Copies of this chain bind each other. A is one copy, B any other.
Amino acid sequence: MNKAVVPISGGIDSTVLLNYAVKCGEFDEVHAVSFNYGQRHDIELLYAQRTATGLGVNHKVIDLDFFKHINTSSLTNSDIDVAKTRDVLGDAQTVNYVPFRNQMILSICCAIAESLEANTVYHGAAQVDTQAGYWDGSNEFMEAINSLTSLNRKHRIKIEAPLIEKSKKEIIEWGLELDVSFEYTWTCYEGKEKACGECTACSSRIQGFIDAGIEDPLEYSQEIPWSKLLNVV
């Protein structure tokens, strides 16, 4: 029996990935896992839940209360402002970086996978994560964590990241092919009722829709001039 474990944040990348895992026909069972780590945008968990329910997959939301001890990130410390522009692209890690988040989350997913006898764990890392300086979204990270988990002699797990070379545009296009409803995805790092349209996450999302030539169905707290943005051809 082929099983996969898919961490899902509720954002575009992991939502497309979960849709892929469910619809690719490779797996008899797909298990979605979300993490409540005190992120200011925990609204994303509702979106993850909605997606998992819609796809009819088992969904666990895991509380990682200990993230209160890891307080150097804007995402988990309300005293630190979320980085606001895409100008932080480059090599340094921004204040949005949460120390070792991906390594922790994937290690937990591997443990769940082993106990479920699943051999595939997905990681939603995409091109933009490397561009944003997240070391734990890079190809090197994928190779190294797979080298580590392959030492488990009893149970083999492969961690796969099919989006890692893909731009946001390509991921959105793939999502459209997979019938993903993007109005039910959440990207914004701010924890407000509507997406801000200004943080690094919103900016990259909006740019992705511009590049894909379609309007983002999500509502933002400021008006996004889509008709102008999409008519620059």
Contacts and interface: CB of A to CB of B under 8 A. Distances in A.
Nearest to A140: B151
A1 interface: no
A32 B18 CA distance: 37
Contacts of A148: 103, 141, 144-145, 147-148
Interface in A114-151: 114-115, 133, 135-136, 138, 140-141, 144-145, 147-149, 151
Contact of A111 (B104, B115, B135, B151): B104
Most chain B CB within a 10 A radius of its CB, from A101, A103, A104, A136: A103
Interface string A68-107: 0111100000000000000000011100011111011001
16 contacts: A62-B69, A63-B65, A63-B66, A69-B112, A92-B154, A93-B154, A97-B154, A100-B114, A100-B152, A103-B148, A104-B108, A133-B153, A136-B152, A138-B151, A140-B151, A148-B148
Interface of A: 60, 62-66, 69-72, 91-93, 97-101, 103-104, 107-108, 110-112, 114-115, 133, 135-136, 138, 140-141, 144-145, 147-149, 151-155
